[in-house]
Every structure is written in C-alpha cells, then in structure tokens.
Structure 1
Amino acid sequence: MSRKRAIIKGTFILTITGFATRFMGFFYRIFLSHTFGEEGVGLYQLVFPIYALCFSLTSAGIQLALSRCVARCMTQGKKKEARELLCTSLVLTVAVSCIVTVILQKYSVFIADTFLKDARCAQLLVILSYAFPFASIHSCICGYYFGLKQTGIPATSQMIEQIARILSVYLIYIYGLRHGVRFGVSIAVAGLIAGEILSSLFCLRSILGKGGFGKWPRIRLSSCMKHGRELIALSIPLTASRVLLNLLQSIEAISIPLKLQTYGMSVAEALSIYGVLTGMALPCILFPSAITNSVSTMLLPAVAEIQAMENHKELSALVKKVTYSCIFLGSICCVLLLTFGNWIGTVLFHSSMAGGYIVTLSWMCPFLYTNNTLISIVNGIGKTTLSFVINSASLSVRIASVLLFIPVFGIQGYLWGMLASQLCIFLFCLIYLNYYLKRERE
C-alpha cells in the first residue's frame, strides 16, 4: 500500500472512531452535568491535570518515540527489531507506572490540599492512580501499531475504552438508584480505570493472538539495553515536554478557580464556571478535531519515513496539503459554532453560560485544528525540543491571561488568552516549517 493510501486509510479509520467516541463522550458529559451538577463536573475536571501529568510521565513520550522507531525499522526491513522495541517499551512504562501509582496514593492528601486546593480530590486521586499501569500497556501497543501504520487495533481499543468507561459509570449509577445508595463523582473516575483495563486486555490479546507476535521474541540483555537507550533518548525530550506542559496546565487549571474568586466569585461559583468551560464548552469545540487528531497520528511515522528517504519534495507537498485542508475544516467549524453555539449550550447542556463560551471559543477553530498536525510534523522530522518550546510559549500566554486578565475581566480574559495562544503555535510552526523546507531543498 502506498504511503498516501496508508495515511488516508488510517486517518479514515481513526476519524470514524474519534467521532464515535466523541459523540458518546458528548452525551456522557451531558449525563455527568445533569447527575452531579456543574460543581461536581468542576471537581471531576480538577483532577484531570494530575491524570494528564502522570500519563505524560509514564507513557506519552515512549508511545511517540516507539511509533517513530518502529516506522524507521519497518522501512529498513527490521521487523524483529521493531518487536523488540515494543517489548522494551512495555517493561519501561509499566515499571514507571507502578512507581507513579504508589506515589500518587501515598501523597494524595498532600496533592489535593496543597496543589488542587480542595480536600475532596484526595479520594479521586487514589482511585485514579490504579489506571496508569493499564494505560501504559494500552499506549505502548497502540504506538507500535501506529508505527506500522495499522490503525484497526488502536481504533477498536479506543472504542472499547470509551464504551467501558461510560457503561461502567452508568451501571454503577443505576445500581445506586435502585438500592438507595448515593454515589458521588468518584464513580466517574472509577470509569476511567474500567476503560483502561478492558482496552489494555484487548490490546494484549491482539498482539499475542493471530496476526500479532504469536510468541514474545527472546531479547538478549544487550539488545534490551540498546533499545532502552534509543527509546529513552528519543522520549526524554517528548516526556519532558509533556510533563512540563502538563505542570503548566496544572498551574493554569488550579489558578482559574482561584483567580475567579479574586474576581469576586464564591468557591461554588468559580468551580461551576470552571466545570462549564472545561466539561461542556471545550469538549464541544474539540469535537471536530477528531479528524485532525487522526491525521496527526498518521503523520508522525509517515514524516519520519519520508525524512529517512530524504524525499524533500514529497514532504513539502504533504505539509501544504495538510495545512490547507485543516484551515478549511477549522473555518467551516468556526462558522457553524458561531451560528449554533448558543443553541448547543442552552438545549443540550441546559446552560446558557456554556453557549456563550462556545461562541467565543469558536474563533480559534482554524488555528486549533491546524496546530495538531503542524506539531506532529515538527515531531516527525525529529525536532521534539522545538515543539516543546512552541507549546511552552503558547501555554505561557494562557497562564499570563489567567494571572493578569481573569482578576480584571473574569473568565472572558482567559478565553482571549486561549485564542492568542493558538495563534502563537500556528505562526511559530508555519515560520519554522517554511524555513526548514527551504533549507532542505537547497
């Protein structure tokens, strides 16, 4: 199969899956908002920066590094080495995940009181900690298949994860209603664990069954050490980038409710606004990005292959096509959300506040959807440190808007900061890629 057809096929499969899971997640968010209220959703969202931080530390960098290494090995005909890389990555990520689980459980109260500023989050963090060993297995196997440009297993596992998450929460809630037990938002966190367990079991079954490894390859210690060094060397910038960015995002997430209180709101009002923004408005804005996220996933190994072959003309054509297509998609979504944003908030979420946020955030769609693919291309050509710098600059703009604008303008100041941050990523990526492609052609 040609590279172009592989990208199109993989993007199609991931996009269909992405839309399906986001569609389910969209109504799942509505269910959560109706069941636990805006403050409950805000509390649930408050632990997500910790979840993202721990996932970045344990799995995210290795997954991307593994995908790139596997793509390189397959281009060079080294199938056995690609399998050895997967085995090595599983050992590394599961070990780190278990350590993170223990640390998170031991210091859950400290993290909740000191960083999240809400003692109710301690119980949620303990529950959340059990998800990471399973998430590491899931992400590594998906990274391996992405490197092969095979999206069937990752797409199916994504569906299984989402269905298990939603169904488990719904069944526990129904059980509580029938037996007079009132469950809090902690059952939504428990749903994350159910999703990761089932998806990781599916991935393991797929890799060990027909069409997978069949049997795990025997790896000598020297080979394991060699692959470990390669994966760590590639993943350290990616992991450091993700961890630092998630630290900044955690600061941002924690600061928003606090700065809203400085603006003059009560704790409950601040959490409600935070819950509406992050649990209702932003998922709606991000819903169409299932397409661009799918393109981004397929682009990284494809760009790595093209770079290895030194086919600069093909790389330039790919960058242009992807950029123009994403801008076009973002512009259409911008118009639709400007037109129907208030209706979505009022009718679907029963929140006029959510509708107002959707309309304001719709202006960043052309940049937001294009940025995912541009950053993936930058990572694909091996400039992981640069992508970290670009993302850090963007997030710094958002944090500045939290600290400086929210106390003066309220949440509206943060929305302006989000738009400015996406514009920064867009311009920085375009300027660098234009410079890189010109230099390579000379």
Structure 2
Amino acid sequence: MEKSQVVKGAFLLSIAALVTKIFSAIYRIPFQNMAGDMGFYVYQQVYPFFGMITILALYGFPVVLSRQIAEKKAQGKDDEVKELLSYTFWGLLILSLLLCIGFLLFAQSIALFIGDESLYTVIQLVGFGFLFLPLLSVFRGAGQGINHMAPTAFSQLSEQAVRVLGILFVTFILTSQGYDAYAVGEGAMYASLLGSGIGTIILILLAKKGDIGFNIKGSFKSFIQHNASFLKQSVFICLNSLILLLFQLIDVFTVVRGLQVLDVADVNIYTAKGVYDRGQPMIQLGTILITSIALAVVPLLSNAIAKQHHQDARRYRDVMMRLAILLGGGATIGLFLLMDSLNVMLFTDQAGTNVLRLFVLSILPCSIYLAGAAIIQGYGRIHIPVYAILAGLITKTAGNIVFIDLFESTMGAALANVVAFTVMMIIVLYSLKKIDQTIFIQKQSFVTLVVVLLSMGLVVFGLKIGVETIFSTPYQRSAHALQAIFLAIIGALFVGVAVCLSNVFTLREWASAPKLAAVKRRIIRTFMKN
C-alpha cells in the first residue's frame, strides 16, 4: 500500500512538472505577441533570475530536504526531523533576505552592467521573489519527505497558472492602455510574485504541519555546516534543470553589451535581443519530452545497476539515447526547415528567422546531453555532468564574446549556444564510453534512426518547396500557420510510421509499451494490406 502511494505521488509530481514546463514555454508566445519584441526583451532580461528561484524552490531545496527527512525517519530519528526543518528554514530565510536586499541595493549596478539602466525597477522586483523561497522549499520538502506529494503538485500548478494568466492579463491591460515595455515588464514581475504568493498559501493550507518546527536548537557551528552542505547539494542536484536558465543569464550579461560596441541605436539592440529570445520557448518545447522521459528511465537504470542486471541497464540507456536523438533530431530538423513560417505563425513576422534557425540547431546536442547526463547519474557518476556544465558555461561565455563581435549580430550568441551544447554532448558521450566501453549498443538501430530523420527532412523540404511554388503570392499569417502545421503533421506521421516499420526499436522494447505496440501492429497491417 505504501509503495503504491509513493508511485502515485511520484506520478503526480511528474505530471505537475510536465504541465508546468509546457506552460512556462508556451505563455511567452502570446506575451510576445502583445508586448512586442521590446517588451519581450525587457521580460527576458530579468526572467532568468526569477526562473532560478522557481527551479531551486521546486527541484533543488525540496528534493534534498525530502531525502534528508526520509533518511531520518528510516533510521527512527523522528525527533531530529523538526531540528532539520528549523535549521533549513532559518538558513534559507537568511539567504533569501540577503539576496533580496542585494537586488534592492544593487539593481542599478546590475542594470548598468547589463547595458540598460531602465531595467533598474524591474530588477528590484525580482529581489522580492527570493522571500518566498524558505516557506516554499521547507513545506514542499517536508511533504515529499513523508510521501505527501499532493501539496507540492497543487501548489506548483496553481503557482504557475496564476503567474501565466496574471502575466498575460496584466500585459493585455497595460499594452492596450499604451504603457511602454518597461511598465509591461514590471507588470509581468508583479504577476509572477502573485503566483509565488498563491502557491505558498495553497502549500501551507494543504501541508501536514505536525513535523514542522521553527525553533533552532544546537550550536551555531552545526547550523552553518548543515546549511553549507544543504546549499551545495541543492545546487548540485538541479544543475541540469538550471542549464537553459544559466545560458540565458549569460546572454543577459553579454548580448546587449556585445552589440553596444557597434554604431547602432540602443533601442535597435534591445529589439534585436528580443527577437533572438524568440528561440527560448522553442528550445524549451524541443527538450521537454526528453527531460520527462529521463525522470522515468533513470530510476529504472539505477535499480538495474544496483541489482547488477547489467544487460537491462544497457538496454535502458540505449533506449534513452535513441529517444533523445529521435525527439531532439526530429524537433531540430522540423524547426530548422519550417522556421520562416513558424516565426510568422508564433511571433507575427519573419524578423531574425536565420538567427532562430541557427539557435534551434542546439536542440539536438542539448537533448543528447540531457539524456547522457541522466544516464551517467544513473551510474552514480554525478560529478561528470557538473564538469560538462562548467565547460558549457565557459564555452557559451567565450563564444558570446567572440562570435557576437565577429558576426556583429545575435547570430553570434546563437552559434555560441550550438557550440556550447555540442561541447557538453561530447563530454557526456566520451564519459559513457569510458564507463561502459561503448556509446551505442544497438548500432544498426541508430543508423536506421538517422536515415529516418534525414528522410523526413527531405520529404518536408520537398513538400515545402512544392507548396511555396504553387502558392507563390506573399503569405498572410494564417497561411503561414496552415503551412507550418500541415508540414509538421506530415513530418511527425512520416517519422511515426517509419519507426513502426523499421528496427529503430526492438520487439522487446515495443512489448514494454503495450499500447504503442498495438498501434505499431495496426500500422503494419495497414501497410501490408496495401
């Protein structure tokens, strides 16, 4: 019964995380449509700071705290749980207050360093977001530590729903009243803070408070040691979840600065950064599925390794790598080929289409990196992804500095993204080979997979040329949308049918997903009849 409850709780959290990530990517599209590229620029210049707060309050602090609570309870040390929670709460409260005060005092300096002093007020508002960290983290961690997952899931969903709806509502009101981009950015931050507040209230109302205490006992030294270790583990454990935000943070501090050395008006630079940021929701959507699959596969892999079922472990890791290439490769090729129509469909015009084409090429190496990092963590080598991330951040920073100057546009930042993720991918693939003497197990399956993806690309490209030749007049937005959706569906169907008819996945792998296996049999019967 208890095991069933754990599985249900884990499933609930996974669904909440998936829905939250989808919301996080999608809402930026209507936001950009209302706020324009300048409004999108303002929001994206401060979003990475707030996004990191959200990630730490969801995947960092609560995860580490829940593990520590579970360990205490498993050892029969229930009396130490309250002490653990109080240490954590007060440690996070002190940290949050320091960060909040830091943002309030140094907002102007941060804005000047970014290259846009007008961001001053919006950056100040970010500081207040840190104040929600202690309660969100402690109540979530306490609930997860006793397998009481519902409060975390519901608070997560409510927080994101209020934030997204609030941002869109406030943006609509402010833009319709003629307010400028910075006022829209401030409104979006107020809506984000409201979301955090509602999430905190719901969490407190639903949480079981029996084990939660805030009275500190013990020495100051043990308090410091606990919180230093706690912070280190928390950041360590959610680095993969932070990677896209860390890359965006590098862009915040380097893109505008890099473009300001050119003889271009600041408003044009800010707009160019806003156009470049159109790629952020695309890369998020392109990698959501693989991160969700990783959450399901890693426990299976770790369990197989712990039981020394090495054949099963190899099978799990190989399936995950094929899925990463299938999903990441399919998304990369599709977005690259259809970017001109997708750009108009999603963001109203074709500004920055070539920059975005280059930007989305990072989806494939990013997907392979995420899959490889998850596999390596399953093998217990949790330090390797950290090295890969450090190498990626250094490469991204250096790439932005060099390439933006070289290309004299945001094309340089897009190229830096691709190069950085490629470096990270190479590191995890090399590490996989060192761990298990090979990268790919079913080599023929990978060859077939590459052929399927390239064939899909040729089919979509051929159809695209045909459609554009027949309808040679300039497209309206609706026509671009119809073309993008039609060709995306054709490409997805082509890949789906080709995967079912080929040896990309083995019979045993199909058998592990009965519903998908039934679809495969129907497709095969249909093609055999014809």
Query: TM-score w.r.t. structure 1 length?
Result: 0.79
Query: Structure 1 residues 381 and 145, CA, compared in 2 at 3 Å: closer, same or farther?
Result: farther
Distance 1:153 1:294 in 2: 20
Deviations 1:356-382 (Å, cap 9, x if unpaired)? 444323333232123334434555666
Match runs of 1:76-155 below 5 Å: 85-113=84-112, 115-143=113-141, 152-155=150-153
Deviations 1:252-300 (Å, cap 9, x if unpaired)? 422112222335543222211211222x222122114333333455677
Query: Structure 1 residues 416 and 53, CA, compared in 2 at 3 Å: closer, same or farther?
Result: same
2:357 aligned residue (356, 359, 380): 359
Structure 2 residue runs of 5 or longer lacking an equivalent are 438-530
Deviations 1:145-203 (Å, cap 9, x if unpaired)? 66677764443323212211123234445665898877432101111111111112222
Distance 2:77 2:314 in 1: 27
Alpha-carbon offset, residue 349 of structure 1: 0.7
3-state SS of 2:367 partner = helix
**1:338–1:362 contact (8 Å) kept in structure 2:** yes
Kindly, what percent of the aligned residue pairs are identical?
A: 19
Which one-letter code corresponds to 1:424 in the other structure? V
2:526 maps to what in 1? none
Answer with 1 or 2: which has the greater Rg: 2
Which one-letter code corresponds to 1:368 in the other structure? C
- Name the stretch that deviates more: 317-326 or 231-240: 231-240
2:276 maps to what in 1? 277
Distance 1:131 1:179 in 2: 27
Match runs of 1:6-405 below 5 Å: 13=12, 16-18=15-17, 20-51=19-50, 61-70=60-69, 85-113=84-112, 115-143=113-141, 152-173=150-171, 183-208=183-208, 213-216=209-212, 221-222=217-218, 229=225, 232-233=228-229, 235-236=231-232, 239=235, 250-278=249-277, 280-296=278-294, 311=308, 313=310, 317-376=315-374, 378=376, 383=381, 385-405=383-403
Which one-letter code corresponds to 1:236 in the other structure? K
Which one-letter code corresponds to 1:375 in the other structure? A
Query: Structure 1 residues 312 and 207, CA, compared in 2 at 3 Å: closer, same or farther?
Result: farther
Alpha-carbon offset, residue 106 of structure 1: 1.9
Query: Structure 1 residues 86 and 135, CA, compared in 2 at 3 Å: closer, same or farther?
Result: same
Deviations 1:199-218 (Å, cap 9, x if unpaired)? 1222222322xxxx545369
Alpha-carbon offset, residue 224 of structure 1: 10
The answer to whether 1:422 aligns with 2:421 is yes
**2:129–2:196 contact (8 Å) kept in structure 1:** yes
3-state SS of 2:362 partner = helix
Distance 1:232 1:384 in 2: 19
- Name the stretch that deviates more: 15-24 or 263-272: 15-24
Which one-letter code corresponds to 1:188 in the other structure? A
**1:66–1:144 contact (8 Å) kept in structure 2:** yes
Alpha-carbon offset, residue 96 of structure 1: 1.1
Alpha-carbon offset, residue 4 of structure 1: 12
**1:135–1:196 contact (8 Å) kept in structure 2:** no
Distance 1:65 1:257 in 2: 36
Distance 2:220 2:301 in 1: 26
Which one-letter code corresponds to 2:193 in the other structure? I
Query: Structure 1 residues 15 and 234, CA, compared in 2 at 3 Å: closer, same or farther?
Result: closer
3-state SS of 1:396 partner = helix
Query: Structure 1 residues 379 and 293, CA, compared in 2 at 3 Å: closer, same or farther?
Result: same
Which one-letter code corresponds to 1:159 in the other structure? L
**2:389–2:424 contact (8 Å) kept in structure 1:** yes
- Name the stretch that deviates more: 186-195 or 425-434: 425-434
Query: Structure 1 residues 218 and 56, CA, compared in 2 at 3 Å: closer, same or farther?
Result: closer
Distance 1:5 1:250 in 2: 39
Query: Structure 1 residues 186 and 234, CA, compared in 2 at 3 Å: closer, same or farther?
Result: closer
Which one-letter code corresponds to 2:411 in the other structure? Q
Alpha-carbon offset, residue 393 of structure 1: 0.6
Query: Structure 1 residues 414 and 111, CA, compared in 2 at 3 Å: closer, same or farther?
Result: closer
Alpha-carbon offset, residue 404 of structure 1: 1.0
**1:62–1:232 contact (8 Å) kept in structure 2:** no
Query: Structure 1 residues 392 and 42, CA, compared in 2 at 3 Å: closer, same or farther?
Result: same
- Name the stretch that deviates more: 91-100 or 68-77: 68-77
Query: Structure 1 residues 339 and 155, CA, compared in 2 at 3 Å: closer, same or farther?
Result: farther
- Name the stretch that deviates more: 82-91 or 248-257: 82-91
Query: Structure 1 residues 289 and 250, CA, compared in 2 at 3 Å: closer, same or farther?
Result: closer
Cα RMSD for the two superposed structures: 4.3
Alpha-carbon offset, residue 419 of structure 1: 1.3
Count of residue pairs the alignment pairs up: 431
Q: Looking at both structures, which has the greater relative contact order when contacts are Cα pairs under 8 Å and sequence separation is at least 6?
A: 1
Deviations 1:333-388 (Å, cap 9, x if unpaired)? 22332343322211221131354444323333232123334434555666555433
Distance 1:325 1:294 in 2: 11
Structure 1 residue runs of 5 or longer lacking an equivalent are none
Distance 1:272 1:436 in 2: 46
Distance 1:166 1:53 in 2: 17
Query: Structure 1 residues 239 and 12, CA, compared in 2 at 3 Å: closer, same or farther?
Result: closer
Which one-letter code corresponds to 1:190 in the other structure? Y
